[in-house]
Amino acid sequence: KKIMPGSGVGSSAASAAGAVVAANKLLGNRFNSNEVIDLAMHGERVASGARHADNIAPCVLGGFTLVRSIEPMDVISIEYPTLYATVIHPQIEIKTSYAREILPKEVPLKSAIRQWSDVGSLIAGLQKGDYDLIARSLQDFIIEPVRKKLIPSFDEVKSASMNAGALGGSISGAGPSIFMFSKDLETANEIKDAMNKVYLTTGIDFNIYVSPINPHGVICK
């Protein structure tokens, strides 16, 4: 993969999903996509300390996914407009298990309601192809304020990206990678240049990736 563990871009999920998909292929594809996701979560638990499908589901199905439940498995594919992701990956490692440990054990009701509202409006924005609504909904009031302290120059990268035309973005997974969405390739590359300018001042090695959102996972829907 050429992506180190603890990168925040689903490195462990890619391995877990790839292993199960390969085994399933050898077994004549006897397991459906939900069963593949369920089996791959065992590998995710080994890597991150938690059995979750946050990254497994989009690895398997592609695009945007909503994991409503894992017991029973209920994963919903979300329609979305053309979107590009610009991702900067500082070459430092943040253990997912540690990034989970520092999260607050309790969330104020006011913050939870605000976050749930944005999750709902983000899904609506994706399905309607409403870029303005997507941009207004890309807010994280619970996780980002805590985990961004682990990522050097996070605020500077986010500010520069927004000034370059990003719809919005946040921490990718547990970090240290940071993602930003845009609606066209030209803007995505301008965001890349803005990220590059910020991180060249940090003395930290980094990689930057620009890609459209891949609608195809490793299993055809």
Question: Residue 185: which H helix or E strand, with range?
Answer: helix 185-199
Active site residue 96: yes
Angle, helices 11-26 vs 33-48, to 10°: value is 140
Closest C-alpha among 77, 73, 85, 81 to residue 59:
77
In angstroms, the Cα distances linking 121 to 98, 136, 159, 195 are 30, 8, 23, 27
Which is catalytic among the residues 86, 96, 187, 190?
96
Q: Please name the residues in contact with 178: beta carbons below 8 A apart, sequence gap of 6 or more.
A: 87, 88, 151, 154, 157, 158, 161, 169, 170, 171, 172, 195
- Catalytic hit among 44, 86, 187, 190: 44
Q: Is 101 a catalytic residue?
A: no
Residue numbers annotated as active site: 44, 96
